[in-house]
A and B are shown apart, each in its own frame.
Chain A
Amino acid sequence: MPEPTPPEYQLPGAARTPQNGAVADTGMGGAMDLATAEGETLERPPDAGPPERDAEGDAEGAAGERARSLWSDAWRELRRNPVFIVAALVILFLVFISLWPGSITWMSPLKCELSKAQEGSQPGHPFGFDGQGCDVYTRVVYGARTSVTVGFLATLGVALLGSVLGGLAGFFGGAGDSVLSRITDIFFAIPVVLGGLVLLSVVTSNTVWPVIGFMVLLGWPQISRIARGSVITAKQHDYVQAARALGASHSRVLLRHITPNAVAPVIVVATIALGTYISLEATLSYLGVGLKPPTVSWGIDISAASPYIRNAPHALLWPSGALAVTVLAFIMLGDAVRDALDPKLR
């Protein structure tokens, strides 16, 4: 997966050096960033009354009485972002059907009639039947639970473990950092599918946990490497030195100054990885080491339907479509959150 370069990597420097894309070639980075409202004067004109404030500032907390913070501003920003709203609705819906699949279905996903195998859409069965004669609609709805659980928990685990280890290594450096870097190198050398075949074949449990555990085990080095890099970048900024010169503790520097400035690449990579984890679950299930029937998952259905793609494409397309929409929703969510955390983009 290519390492994304979110704008955070360029902006701080770019604003300073006169090479910032568009207009800043003239070296006017600072002046151009200036809000139009205050382009006129720097010195506060004595008794000139309050300067024009943007409408938004007026609406929010009467004359700025309430202190604003990055997180509250980000939340306000998110609420007005249509991309975020759409993504959030999709994800909420997914969570809902994962918890209560019965609310929008009326059959059991395991009740199949071989006689109806591969039949297309018909009343009561909008998505048709798969190769085993099971109702595709019901299976897609029930599959959401496993797929979303696997994708979400694996991503969460990877992101937490990776960013904590990578972030701490990047922040403190030294021997711990060297050791961690070598360990990530070793993990990068393990082929995912082969690793899965070896590790998961010895597991007999029929739950999703071994699969999630395996994904976290192999996925964290990727996030760790990215988190380490962006923490090292953020650490070098003068504002971190400024906080240290004030006497700020390590935890304060890490939480207030480094994390918000280093989190963007992690969010981007993690949300993209979420999709790959759902697909990886499918791959592993296909190879027979992931989830096993009777567990219902999109991955199992996709792999099961692939032999019949010519005769019954619907059996493949519906679960794949659900997977695609889910992945897209998470990527959109990640994008929106990343943008909301960057005040420069407001």
Chain B
Amino acid sequence: MAEPVLEVSGLHKHYPLTQGIVFRKHVGAVKAVDGVDFTLGRGETLGIVGESGCGKSTVARMLVSLERPTQGRIRYKGEDVTRLSGRALKAVRRNIQMVFQDPYTSLNPRMTVGDIIGEPFEIHPEAAPKGDRRRRVQDLLDVVGLNPEYINRYPHQFSGGQRQRIGIARGLALRPEVIVADEPVSALDVSVQAQVINLMDRLQSEFDLSYLFIAHDLSIVRHISDRVGVMYLGRIVETGRDAEIYDHPTHPYTQALLSAVPVPDPEAREHRERIILAGDVPSPTDIPSGCRFRTRCWKARERCALEVPALAVPAEFRFATGPAAHASACHFAEEKQVVPPEEREA
């Protein structure tokens, strides 16, 4: 793997639940993120998939220091970001930027596009001399495929896709090394999604960016990611290269998730096996013992309730060299192909 820019280890975020008005008493905690480890290499895209409430957005917010982790480390080029504050934190922030999900609320409606994209320079004045900023903003607009003349317009004069481009331009302004994108295209229409994904692809090679790409849409994540992590209830349950996860999943949750994705091919609906999971995701205040997926797993046995499965290459595949040999937090991992290769005339 390329040299790591971000190393995350043992990341936890617990939100305490309290009771009482005057004397607050802890009655538990929402374990939004409960032990996440990953590394992100330079120029690499790591996709994080999971359903709502699995903690993927909380991870994103901790990476850009919008939340402080309860426990764990986020190392940017070896330096622990979670311990920084003040000037040092500000310096790191320059290099880790975020693109938000909702292009309608992520831009201040009362600021012009020029002000929005130029704001990073005002916060970090050392990044660009004052006289140069306006030109830089126009360059950025050009880079993301918008007309530089739009600099004096307000966000509401743009469509969703264009606004997301503005959000991306703001993220790029300080020339960061890492961009954390939290569902950057899920609010957009299909045809516009493709435009924005292509733009992100292009920018990655142009500026040598590392992406942490968070989404619930498995197809998009596969398209853009080099490696993928599947999250369930605050933890990564399976991780590997995109083909390893999508074509050779070994964790039952990944298999269920993949099998549930509707495939745009009506032929597939007859001969596709669907794994329908029972019940709902348990509450993050009361995570099941042992394997957190066992309450919905069709393979669960006694061992699953007692032992927490580690995220590592399962014993069965330890000496294998094939694509099934990737980290999967399951005691009974086995390979199962759930995504049938489509045949579609081009």
Given the complex of chains A and B, what is the CA–CA distance between A239 and B171 in angstroms?
Answer: 12
B residues 222-279 touching A (CB-CB < 8 Å):
none
Contacting A238 at CB < 8 Å: which of B97, B106, B158?
B106
B76-119 vs A: 1/0 string, CB under 8 Å? 00000000000001100110011011101111111110110001
A11, A35, A63, A67: most-surrounded residue (chain B CB, <10 A): A67
Residue B64 is within 8 A (CB to CB) of chain A in the complex: yes
Chain B contributes a number of interface residues (CB within 8 A of A) equal to 53
List A contacts of B152 (CB < 8 A): 57, 64, 67-68
B149 touches A53 (CB 8 A): yes
Interfacial residues of chain B within 1-54, with CB under 8 A of chain A in the complex = none
Residue among B97, B158, B161 with most chain A CB within 10 A: B158
Q: Indicate whether A88 reaches chain B with its CB closer than 8 angstroms.
A: no
Known contacts A34-B159, A42-B145, A69-B115; decide if A246 and B93 are in contact (CB<8 Å): yes
The residue that A245 contacts in the complex, of B66, B107, B151, B160, with Cβ under 8 A, is B66
Are B65 and A239 closer than 8 Å at their CB atoms? no
B154 within 8 A of A: yes
Query: Which residues of chain B are near A33, meaning CB under 8 Å?
Result: 156-159
Q: Is A148 an interface residue (CB 8 A)?
A: no
**Complex contacts, B107 vs chain A, CB 8 Å:** 239, 242
A63–B151 CA distance with the chains assembled, in angstroms: 10
**A-B interface pairs (CB < 8 A), number:** 139
- Residues of A close to B65: CB separation below 8 A: 245
CB distance from B201 to the nearest CB of A (A): 15
Main secondary structure of the interface of A (DSSP, over half): helix
| Known contacts A53-B149, A242-B170; A247 and B90 CB within 8 A of each other | yes
Q: Which of A43-80 contact B (CB under 8 A)?
A: 43-44, 50-51, 53, 57, 63-64, 67-70, 73
- Contact between chains at A247 and B89 (CB < 8 Å): yes
Contact B147 A16 (CB under 8 A): no
Question: Which chain B residues border A222 with CB–CB below 8 Å?
Answer: none
**Residue of B64, B111, B146, B159 touching A70 (CB-CB under 8 A):** B111
- Chain B residues within CB distance 8 Å of chain A: 61, 64-66, 89-90, 93-94, 97-98, 100-102, 104-112, 114-115, 119-120, 123-124, 134, 142, 145-147, 149-154, 156-163, 167, 170, 174, 187, 192, 195
Between-chain CB contacts (< 8 Å), 28 pairs: A12-B104, A12-B105, A15-B156, A30-B104, A30-B158, A30-B159, A33-B158, A42-B161, A50-B149, A57-B152, A64-B152, A68-B112, A68-B152, A69-B115, A238-B100, A239-B108, A241-B100, A241-B106, A242-B98, A242-B167, A242-B170, A245-B97, A246-B97, A246-B124, A256-B108, A256-B119, A260-B110, A343-B110
